[in-house]
Amino acid sequence: MKRFVVIGLGNFGATVARALRRAHHEVAALDLDPAKVERMASLIRRAVVGDGTDPEVLERAGARDADAGVVSTGDDVTASVLTALGLRDLGVREIFVKVVSETHARIVEKLGVGDTIFPERESAQLLAKRLASRTVLNYVYLGPSFSVQEVAVPESWVGRSLRDIELPRKYNVSVIAIRDYLSGDVTPVPDPDTPLKGSEALFVAGRDEALERIARLG
């Protein structure tokens, strides 16, 4: 179990807090809006009404004992940066900051106060990938031109093994897991000699141009 503090309980922050709690982690949260705090009070360990830019409020919410913090203060870039700085000063080891623009992201990265999360951009990238190819089921951005994509097994690969297909050599990508949509099972580090099924999808890591070649096979 890890300890998390979430600052800002809008749609994004509240969703993160609920997801962490469902994963059985300890979650504290704060927001300026008493109504938002009240809605979360029964779901998390500690819910505080207050200003995340105030170090005393952060400490009262339990930030000093947190393993990680999530800053989601909407469009208020100044509040976002000051909150992240406050978490850093309290010794929080991992800080994730929801950003609303490229400028916001650059400020956070320049100050070195945390990792940026750009939900709108990531959602747009996933939608674009899904619209462009019916075989792409999920998309996780890892960096410029690099990602992990969940791709339905192309019909021409059904019955063949990963060793036979030789993805690292032919496409310069790696399969890190397989999901079977009939059973719901996810297999990490799959057996390279097991024949692939039509009900399966591959989690494939590599450069976007290489992954696009695979997506076109579907």
Say whether both 143 and 90 belong to one domain: no
Model confidence pLDDT, tens digit, residues 182-218: 888 899 989 999 999 999 999 999 998 888 888 777 6
Say whether both 67 and 149 belong to one domain: no
d(CA 189, CA 176): 6
CATH assignment of the domain containing 177 = 3.30.70.1450
Q: How many domains does the chain have?
A: 2
The Cα-based distances of 14 to 29, 35, 217 in angstroms read 9, 12, 39
Say whether both 69 and 140 belong to one domain: no
Say whether both 93 and 167 belong to one domain: no
Range of the domain at 135: 122-217
d(CA 125, CA 121): 6
Say whether both 129 and 97 belong to one domain: no
- Residue at which a domain ends, from 56, 85, 117: 117
pTM: 0.63
Model confidence pLDDT, tens digit, residues 14-65: 989 988 988 889 999 999 999 999 999 888 888 999 999 999 999 999 999 9
